Amino acid sequence: MDIKEEIKKIAAEIGISKIGFTTADDFDYLEKSLRLGVEEGRTTGFEHKVIEERIKPKLSLASAKTIISIAVAYPNKLPVQPPKTDYKRGKITPNSWGLDYHYVLQDKLNRLAAAIEELTQDFEYKGMVDTGALVDTAVARRAGIGFIGKNGLVISKEYGSYMFLGELITNLEIEPDQPVDYDCGDCRRCLDACPTSCLIGDGTMNARRCLSFQTQDKGMMDMEFRKKIKTVIYGCDICQICCPYNKGIDNPLATDIDPELAHPELIPFLELSNSSFKEKFGMIAGSWRGKNILQRNAIIALANAHDRSAIPKLLEIIDKNNNPIHTATAIWALGEIVKKPDEVMLDFMRSLSLKDEASLEELELVRQKWQF
């Protein structure tokens, strides 16, 4: 029995788009870059904390010999557009359409492992999706899934960069695959297109400047980034949209997609309670940061859409002042949407009694803009 070929057959049957095999040798070459990222403050803080565990597979599985890397492709275009309504819509980027990819990948890894257990005795393994120790992109590159582009993403000819990645560290002895023989070449479209210049050009980035991170970070969003997110309330895929490898791809569905959740109505989104947010959006990947951060982004999106129908909702948020970050962001948004306020609005702003620093700063900026 050729176990490698059997595993590849099983992978195809359970909906794994691409599979590759590599050794469980250390990823020593990553250490310098990983440590430098931490020292220079370019990491998000969401990464696995112990760098040794990120580069040494045997620290995750002592008997490790082969790592099986899997990729599950996902679409970059909605199969059906949401209906037009009276509300402006925000955007959630494709990696968070449908069921949370962590569940999708974990299910496929579990099914793959269960099938391998039936093929061989004494099978030991540990499965990982991006919350695990290993660097998924490094594993995928070495296993021949694709190359790491200048945008830091794994790119394949078949599926572009729209792939979810995961791996099984195993005690199997399987002949490793080779890295792919294509790359970015001289192309630098993602470097030129990135609105925050967060890409360094060697496959690494200043992750704290990435708009995707900005939509997930807590607190006030820095002024520099607010207009740049446009109407996206979770994620960013500008560096994927412009990539030539993504032109013309038509990837299959990785999971069912509700277009209403992919492009949610912004004003109704601001009215969600914790329980209704969890009920409606709780199974998408973007929900992990919780309702409040995404609602902050929705307020910014309304300002960027210049949605005057949002003015009553913004005034309500400011008046209730239940969440200081929402209040401060709504004050900024009001200043963006309203160019010439009437006396009623000016009186409202004059009457505000705010104590938190962020709201006071935003109010002062609006005061200067409106000259009251």
Which of 295, 370, 371 is closest to 328 using CA atoms? 295
- The CB density around residue 237, as the number of other CB atoms within 10 Å, is 21
Polymer length of the chain: 372
Beta strands in the chain (DSSP E): 18-23, 66-73, 91-92, 125-128, 147-148, 154-155, 163-170, 232-234
Do 233 and 301 meet the contact criterion of CB atoms below 8 Å apart?
yes
Helix (H) or strand (E) holding 370: helix 357-370
Q: What are phi and psi of 134, to 5 degrees?
A: -70, 160
Do 269 and 95 meet the contact criterion of CB atoms below 8 Å apart?
no
Share in percent of the chain as helix, strand, coil (round to 5) = 45, 10, 45
Q: Which two three-digit tokens encode residue 51?
A: 């760098």
Strands 125-128 and 147-148, how do they pair?
Answer: unpaired
Q: Out of 130, 217, 237, 307, which one is annotated catalytic?
A: 130
Does residue 356 carry a catalytic annotation?
no
Which of 234, 333, 237 is closest to 290 using CA atoms? 234
Q: Which residues are catalytic?
A: 130
